[in-house]
Amino acid sequence: MTRHPLVLVVDDEANLRRMLSAVLASDGCRTAEAASGPDALSAVARQRPDAVFLDLSMPGGFDGLETLQRLGAEAPGVPVIMMSGRAGLADAVRATKLGAHHFLEKPLSPEAVLVALHSALELARARAEAEALREALGPADTLVGSSPQLADVRSLIARVAPTEARVLISGESGTGKELVATAIHAASSRADGPFVRVNCAAIPRELVESEMFGHERGSFTGATERRIGRFEQADGGTLFLDEVGDLSPEAQAKLLRALEGGEIERVGGGRPIPVDVRVVSATNRDLARAARDGGFREDLLYRLNVFPIVLAPLRERPGDIPELVRHFATLVSRRIGRPAPTVSPEAMDLLVRHPWPGNVRELANIVERLIILAPAAARAGAGAAGGGGSGAIGAADVAAALPSPGDDGRAEPLPHPSETTLALSDELDRFERVLIARALSAAGGNVAEAARRLATDRANLYRRMRRLGIEPAP
């Protein structure tokens, strides 16, 4: 069931409160009202709203700007939209510095009210998702491992984070590029601003401009309301462009213009909008080679690759694997409410010697599978050769969870036609299903990476997966 947002309307004029509440209710919102700053703070203490409309000038108690300041301390993260009939530029600037999301001039129009509300709610949602991501990843120093390669990455993060330099993070799929981007944001002066992630490989080509820069209502078929793009959502913070090498040539040109000018223009919009955004990009492709081959704009690469950070694949730093295993085991056990099982030396040796084509992401998936199966494996294999004992993970458990040594993505041999009565289409589907499943496994569930391994494009692979009933991993 969809949750209806709660909006607090703060104004000393009862008629305006009723009018504004009616407009918000028509858009599916729940509303609460307050006639003064102290009443507003009391209402927020009773129930935290999703957004606040706040009048600038109110008699008694304290005015709108002081109320705004106190709301920022008592309800951080709640977007506040200021309203005034006689505000000057100085008031608007001060309100913005105090954290106001938007400034509306009276008399209010229903369209302006709803546009401001939707913008505020979308920004709040993006910030909440970023905060949830930070909590899921743990502290910024969750780059687990003590290998020399990881020590070098930590040193580079410490040097570049306090600057405004754009960073390009390169590495194979699953090496933790998003974690590095999050660490850069958390250690920067923008840490209190939004961290907005864009998966460039997942955006349909025709929607890239709308997704990145937003659109105005009616600008194209299906644009039923204004949309705030990712650049505006990240204003004052960091925009993380994941898999930036998968952008189409048209999207690369539009991104280049935004980076050069420091402003964007919504689809269907008539004016440029300045944005203060630090861009951090990531790719698992060799963009220098792609630029030489004409697949990626060289001038865009220069602007993105001001400060490069390269992540080594897990197979080149096997000493980090025991620490990563213990880290993921703790996280998974805490999430499912079980004590973390121990890992026998023989089991750990198997994990260290595995080549991990899907890198850290694949290791995390395997550890989660082992943790979930650990009690059953212990009950069935206690005392068995290679078993892990009660509550422990043994070599036999790991051997069963890991892909077989020869499983490098090649499909199993097909039977000779004389040995089967299956139809040709059934055999081809079976062969294709095996190829796709193994490519997805090697790519740690990343569909774009699996498509590259299969030498096809992402859209074609999605079509084939739907036809064969293969669900992408969450």
- Segment 100-121, tens digit of pLDDT: 888 888 888 898 899 889 888 8
Taking residues 239-257, report their average pLDDT: 90
Taking residues 317-335, report their average pLDDT: 89
Model pLDDT for residues 387-435, shown as the tens digit of each residue:
444 458 888 888 888 876 544 444 344 444 444 445 566 667 777 777 8
Q: Give me 371's structure tokens.
A: 């943790």
| Higher-confidence position of 135 and 414 | 135
Amino acid identity, position 463: R
- Class for the domain spanning 138-312: alpha beta
Is the per-residue pLDDT at 472 higher than 90?
A: no
Closest alpha carbon to 439 in 423, 455, 426:
455
Q: Is residue 263 exposed (0-12), middle (13-18) or buried (19+ Cβ within 10 Å)? A: middle
Torsion angles phi and psi, residue 17, rounded to 5: -60, -45
Closest alpha carbon to 34 in 77, 65, 67:
67
- CA 295, 297, 301, 302 dihedral sign is positive
Q: Tell the residue number behind the tokens 């491992």, with chain if given.
A: 145
Are 378 and 390 spatial neighbours (Cβ–Cβ below 8 Å)? yes
Q: Which distant-in-sequence residues (6+ apart) come within 8 Å of 31 by Cβ?
A: 6, 7, 8, 9, 20, 21, 24, 25
Taking residues 290-319, report their average pLDDT: 94
Give residue 418's pLDDT: 44
Q: Give me 421's structure tokens.
A: 């009565």
Q: Is residue 467 exposed (0-12), middle (13-18) or buried (19+ Cβ within 10 Å)? A: exposed
| Higher-confidence position of 420 and 312 | 312
| Higher-confidence position of 285 and 374 | 285
Highest mean pLDDT among 326-340, 406-420, 459-473: 326-340
Give residue 64's pLDDT: 86
| Higher-confidence position of 289 and 470 | 289
Give residue 464's pLDDT: 84
Would you say the CATH fold of 138-312 matches that of 6-121?
yes
Give residue 411's pLDDT: 39
**DSSP-based helix, strand, coil % in the chain, nearest 5:** 50, 15, 35
**How is residue 472 annotated by DSSP?**
P
Concatenating the DSSP letter of every residue in 50-85 gives SEEEEES--SSS--HHHHHHHHHHHSTT--EEEEES
CA distance 63 to 61: 7
The helix/strand/coil state of 323 is: helix
Q: How far is CA 309 from the centre of its chain?
A: 20
With bands split at pLDDT 50, 70 and 90, how would you rate the model's confidence at 378?
Answer: very low
Q: Tell the residue number behind the tokens 């992408």, with chain if given.
A: 472
Model pLDDT for residues 2-60, shown as the tens digit of each residue:
468 999 999 999 999 999 999 999 989 999 999 988 899 999 989 999 999 999 888 76
The helix/strand count (H/E) of the chain reads as 19, 16
Torsion angles phi and psi, residue 309, rounded to 5: -130, 125
Domain ranges of the chain: 6-121, 138-312, 315-401, 417-468
Give residue 147's pLDDT: 92
With bands split at pLDDT 50, 70 and 90, how would you rate the model's confidence at 94?
Answer: confident
Pick the CATH number of 315-401 from 3.40.50.300, 1.10.8.60, 3.30.470.20, 2.40.50.140: 1.10.8.60
Taking residues 84-88, report their average pLDDT: 73
End-to-end alpha carbon distance in the chain: 22
Average pLDDT, the chain: 82
Q: Give me 116's structure tokens.
A: 């401001």
Closest alpha carbon to 184 in 55, 24, 64, 308:
308
- 63-68's contacts with Cβ under 8 Å and 24+ in sequence apart are 63/37, 64/10, 64/37, 64/95, 65/91, 65/94, 65/95, 65/98, 66/37, 67/10, 67/37, 67/40, 67/41, 68/95, 68/98, 68/99, 68/100
Q: Looking at domain 6-121, which CATH architecture does it have?
A: 3-Layer(aba) Sandwich (3.40)
Q: How many of the other CB atoms lie within 10 Å of CB of 43?
A: 19
Give the lowest-confidence range in 91-105, 159-173, 184-198: 91-105
CA distance 364 to 358: 10
Q: How many of the other CB atoms lie within 10 Å of CB of 382?
A: 14
Give residue 139's pLDDT: 44
Torsion angles phi and psi, residue 48, rounded to 5: -70, 120
Is the per-residue pLDDT at 169 higher than 60?
A: yes
